[in-house]
């Protein structure tokens, strides 16, 4: 397997373990507790990631994979990505340097049961692991799809890296919420 994809699979394993640890031992009430009216609960963080995976990353990654297969774009790397993509990736990593309001489609649904949200999140982790394996041998730099920001096209490798960074960012956010949980909930 291409070294970059192995790194992404390692990151994914770490994210899965971190998420399981963050959600362990919580009641639904604790999982849905919000530190303030304008802040997300842990549920909100995971719900946002689930919505982003379903409506943003899944279509883009699948389209880039399909384009790579159609164009027979193959390479073992290493891959160097454009400056704008690398810049956006740095902005996505935790802790947040730039805060923006999530678009309506990615706003979390509060009040969902922990186990339901956990299962959906793990489904997306399984989905991503499968896509990473499918990408082995494809040119992660030349396989591209329209940017979610509407600015050109992004590389498949960038989509993978940004999705993982986005997950780390919101796991960091969920950890901050968990640290603030009152003992009376």
Confidence at residue 63, expressed as pLDDT on a 0 to 100 scale = 95
Band (46; pLDDT cuts 50, 70, 90): very high
| pLDDT tens track for 135-180 | 999 999 999 999 876 778 999 999 999 999 999 999 999 999 999 9
Block residue for tokens 């793990």: 122
What's residue 147's pLDDT? Answer: 81
Task: Give the H/E segment covering residue 154.
Answer: strand 153-155
Residue partners of 139: CB distance under 8 A and separation at least 6:
68, 73, 74, 75, 79
Locate 30 and state its tokens: 């604790």
User: What's the pLDDT band for 104 if we cut at 50, 70, 90?
Assistant: low
Q: What is the mean pLDDT of residues 106-110?
A: 71
In whole angstroms, give the CA distance from residue 136 to residue 3: 9
Average pLDDT, the chain: 92
Q: How far is CA 166 from CA 62, 67, 89, in A?
A: 18, 24, 9
Closest C-alpha to 41, from 163, 183, 180: 180
Mean pLDDT of 38-63: 94
Out of 76-80, 92-96, 111-115, the most confident range is 111-115
pLDDT band at 56; cut points 50, 70, 90: confident
To which residue do tokens 């399981």 refer?
Answer: 20
Hey, CA dihedral for 130, 135, 136, 141, is it positive or negative? negative
Show the tokens assigned to 106: 């990615």
CA atoms within 13 A on the CB side of 25: 5
pLDDT computed for residue 185 by the predictor: 82
pTM equals 0.92
Please name each of the domains of the chain with its CATH number.
3-16+33-180 (1.20.120)
Residue 184 reports pLDDT greater than 90: no
* Percent of the chain whose pLDDT exceeds 70: 94
Average pLDDT over residues 81-92: 89
């Amino acid at each position: 397997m291409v070294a970059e994809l192995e790194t992404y699979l390692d990151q994914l394993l770490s994210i899965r373990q971190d998420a399981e640890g963050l959600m362990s031992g919580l009641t639904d009430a604790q999982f849905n507790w919000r530190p303030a009216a304008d802040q997300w609960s842990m549920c909100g963080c995971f719900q946002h990631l689930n919505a982003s995976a379903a409506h943003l990353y899944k279509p883009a990654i699948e389209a880039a994979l399909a384009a790579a297969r159609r164009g027979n774009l193959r390479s073992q790397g290493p891959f160097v990505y454009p400056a704008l993509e690398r810049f956006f990736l740095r902005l996505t990593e935790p802790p947040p340097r730039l805060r923006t309001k999530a678009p309506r489609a990615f706003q979390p649904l509060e009040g969902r049961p922990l186990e339901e949200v956990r299962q959906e999140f793990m489904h997306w982790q399984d989905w991503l692991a499968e896509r990473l394996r499918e990408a082995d041998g494809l040119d992660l730099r030349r396989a591209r799809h329209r940017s979610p920001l509407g600015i050109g096209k992004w590389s498949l490798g960038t989509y993978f890296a940004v999705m993982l960074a986005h997950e780390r960012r919101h796991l960091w956010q969920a950890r901050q919420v968990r640290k603030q949980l009152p003992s009376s909930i």
